[in-house]
Amino acid sequence: MRWARYVRLIRSVTQLAYELEEERRKGRGIALVPTMGSLHAGHSSLLAQARQSGRAVVLTIFVNPTQFDDRSDFDRYPRTQDRDLELAEAEGAELVLVPSTEQMYPPPDVVRVTASGPLTELWEGASRPGHFDGVLTVVGRLFGMAGSCRAFFGEKDYQQLRLVSALAAEMFPLVEVVGCPVVREADGVACSSRNALLSSEDRRAAAVIHRALLEGCDRASRHGASAASVEAAVRSRIEKEPRAEIDYVGVVRIDDLVPAGELVGEMRILVACRFGPVRLIDNVALSGAAPEAGAGAGAGEGHAVVGRRTAILSSQDDD
């Protein structure tokens, strides 16, 4: 195939270790981009930023069974390896690890990561019990294989990004986790492998999530806004779409993702919704600040503005 001339496809963890050592002997650092495949424009952005770091770009593709709480969700997760390898080549990936489950979880498979605390118990943790244990277990194994590296993760899975950053800080000090902006399709829908599973009607309806997030940001910018009123604005907008079923909406502090009591400091609006059998998540940044003296706002009131760390595609990508 065309991509085979440029991308080194690796199936073995042992071979990966050899290839990484060869890169380091050349004086090159490692840029790691872990994925579950079914690559899209969001992954392209991760690979582009990894390439810009000047390091050897290592893409991993592994649909991790331990992070799915629903076996049917694992079974229907899109698998598009040939197309993924073509995209990897186009974005300058040099090594692509596509391991088997046996390579990632060799017997007796007794070492697993168990996460605890608000970062794992709220939001996705509450909706998908055990999900983050699986995520952190496989990411920890990838970090162990890669050694010293920069690892690139998207901000769409914001809770995951926070947990992966904490994992690196506590257990893998030679790994620098880099968060990358959300990439959106032309109608604002965050790029996701799951978008391809939506029916045409649900795909159109999914645009309500981003519109609701923007309405929440607009509400937050008004005098006298509260975290509760922002959340209510987001919920109200989504509830107008009959095809959407809300899982959660939250205005949270970015350090621990605990619900924000007031609009002060750095925050995120988190959303999870179902459209038929497909569950989508999204988020947007809010920056709050106490009002200046004499501004006329009441005690404890603040203001917030939408974060600008997002990219919009010029044309719609159905993946």
Active site residues: 43
The single-letter DSSP state of residue 197 is: G
Q: At what angle do helices 81-90 and 41-52 cross, to 10 degrees?
A: 40
* Residues 6+ away with beta carbon under 8 Å from 259: 227, 250, 251, 252, 253
Structure tokens at 244: 């959407």
Length of the chain: 319
Is 132 in a helix, a strand, or coil? helix
C-alpha span between 55 and 15 (Å, rounded)? 19
The single-letter DSSP state of residue 291 is: P
* Residues 6+ away with beta carbon under 8 Å from 116: none
* Residues 6+ away with beta carbon under 8 Å from 296: 223
DSSP states along 237-250: HHHT-TTEEEEEEE
Report which of 180, 171, 44, 50 is spatially closest to residue 115, judged by C-alpha positions: 171
What is the helix (H) or strand (E) element at residue 203, kind and residue range? helix 200-205
C-alpha span between 285 and 310 (Å, rounded)? 10
